[in-house]
């Protein structure tokens, strides 16, 4: 069984490669990230945690879903920056190096730290995750029968999704979930694939992966716009009920608790609707990019 360990989890909307020769700079201003850095520094000074390590993982900005593979970072330098004319810590700049082996997330130890309430209150509690070294593919550069079956299943799903969103006869889906300005671009960027062999070719594999991202992000953008409009309407209505001049922008934490709950319920329902579409663009690109062979990537991506 792979060795497991529990590390602070650092969700980001960026992908890092497991290359120890490159330094990465992370600028931390959120309370949970500041607290994580301070805790790691304290444990390092006490000799409990040396080097200072945490796990970076890709996070979808709208749904909050996390990729299942992450990269462990070692802090090589920490710079604290203070607010002008104040003893308040404003930010911490971390210089980090990635460890060469990606890790799989086994479980999140404290998922409540990512709750809506914690985010609204800007809690300093950060996530912890149990991780283990990523299980590398045993592929020797050839496609197995299992991978071939995965390719066929991927082709079938690809064709179904393409028809669902690009077939104009399906007017309800086509007109509801795809913004008008994006339909032509989406059609051009979403190629027709009729043979599973198209997935065997390296260039075709990345083209299909990119096209899926285009589709996912286009549909997501349309839904985000609709949710933002509904959300703003509720917030403006709540602010107007208070009377007096309307001050913009209106923040969720400044409105009545009942309105906050209403907004939270809207966002949760939008999240559920989005998950049902099975078009979450938060793919494990950290893992795909770290694998050395095309068969291994195809097996992982299937």
Indicate if 287 and 163 belong to the same structural domain.
yes
List Cβ neighbours of 140 (8 Å cut-off, separation of 6 or more): none
Q: Which of 156, 3, 152 is nearest to 72 (CA)?
A: 3
The encoded tokens of residue 138 equal 């045993």
Cα–Cα distance, 200 to 47 (Å, whole number): 50
Identify the band that residue 40 occupies on the pLDDT scale cut at 50, 70 and 90.
very high
Q: Is residue 71 part of a domain?
A: yes
The yes-or-no verdict on residue 295 having pLDDT over 50 is yes
Q: Which single residue is written with the structure tokens 């799989």?
A: 104
d(CA 14, CA 9): 14
Q: E strand or H helix at 54, and its extent?
A: strand 52-59
Instruction: Determine the Cα–Cα distance for residues 98 and 177; give it in Å rounded to an integer.
Output: 39
pLDDT of residue 150: 60
Looking at the structure of the chain, the number of domains it has is 2
Q: Which two tokens stand for residue 208?
A: 């299909």
Supply the pLDDT for residue 92.
95
Average pLDDT over residues 192-202: 63
Does some domain include residue 63?
yes
> Of 133, 154, 171, which marks where a domain is finished?
133
Among candidate residues 108, 133, 158, the one where a domain is terminated: 133
pTM above 0.85, yes or no: no
Is 199 in contact with 154 (CB distance < 8 Å)?
yes
Does the residue 138 lie in any domain?
no
What are the structure tokens assigned to 68, written together?
A: 């299942």
Task: Count CB neighbours of 282 within 10 A.
Answer: 19
| Amino acid 167: pLDDT | 66
Q: Which of 74 and 277 is assigned the larger pLDDT? A: 74
**Mean pLDDT computed over 258-279:** 85
Give the domain range for residue 29.
5-133
> Which residues in 85-111 are b (16+ Cβ under 10 Å) and which e?
eeeebebbebebbbbeebbbbeebeee
Neighbouring CB atoms inside 10 A of 127's CB total 22
Same domain, 261 and 157: yes
Task: From 98, 133, 168, give the residue that closes a domain.
Answer: 133
294 assigned to some structural domain = yes
What was the pLDDT predicted at 250?
Answer: 84
User: How far is Cα 227 from Cα 60, in angstroms, rounded to an integer?
Assistant: 16
Mean pLDDT of 29-38: 93
């Amino acid at each position: 069984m792979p060795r497991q360990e529990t590390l602070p989890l650092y969700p980001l909307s960026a992908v890092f490669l497991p290359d120890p020769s490159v330094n990465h700079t992370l600028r931390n201003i959120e309370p949970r990230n500041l607290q994580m850095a301070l805790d790691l520094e304290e444990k390092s000074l006490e000799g409990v945690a040396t080097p200072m390590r945490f796990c970076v993982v890709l996070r979808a900005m709208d749904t909050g879903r996390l990729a299942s593979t992450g990269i462990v970072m070692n802090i090589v330098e920490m710079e604290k920056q203070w607010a002008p004319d104040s003893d308040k810590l404003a930010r911490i700049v971390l210089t980090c190096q990635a460890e060469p082996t990606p890790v799989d997330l086994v479980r999140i130890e404290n998922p409540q730290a990512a709750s809506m309430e914690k985010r609204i209150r800007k809690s300093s509690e950060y996530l912890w995750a149990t991780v283990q070294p990523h299980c590398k593919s045993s592929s020797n550069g050839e496609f197995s029968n299992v991978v071939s079956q995965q390719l066929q299943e991927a082709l079938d799903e690809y064709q179904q999704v393409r028809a669902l969103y690009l077939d104009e006869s399906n007017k309800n889906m086509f007109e509801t979930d795809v913004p008008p300005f994006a339909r032509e671009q989406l059609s051009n960027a979403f190629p027709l694939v009729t043979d599973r062999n198209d997935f065997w070719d390296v260039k075709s594999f990345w083209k299909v992966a990119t096209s899926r991202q285009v589709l996912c992000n286009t549909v997501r953008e349309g839904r985000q716009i609709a949710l933002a409009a509904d959300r703003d309407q509720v917030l403006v209505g709540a602010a107007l009920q208070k009377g007096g001049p309307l001050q913009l922008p209106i923040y969720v934490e400044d409105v009545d608790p009942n309105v906050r709950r209403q907004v939270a319920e809207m966002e949760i329902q939008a999240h559920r609707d989005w998950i049902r579409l099975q078009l979450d663009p938060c793919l494990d690109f950290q893992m795909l990019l770290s694998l050395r062979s095309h068969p291994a990537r195809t097996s992982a991506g299937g």
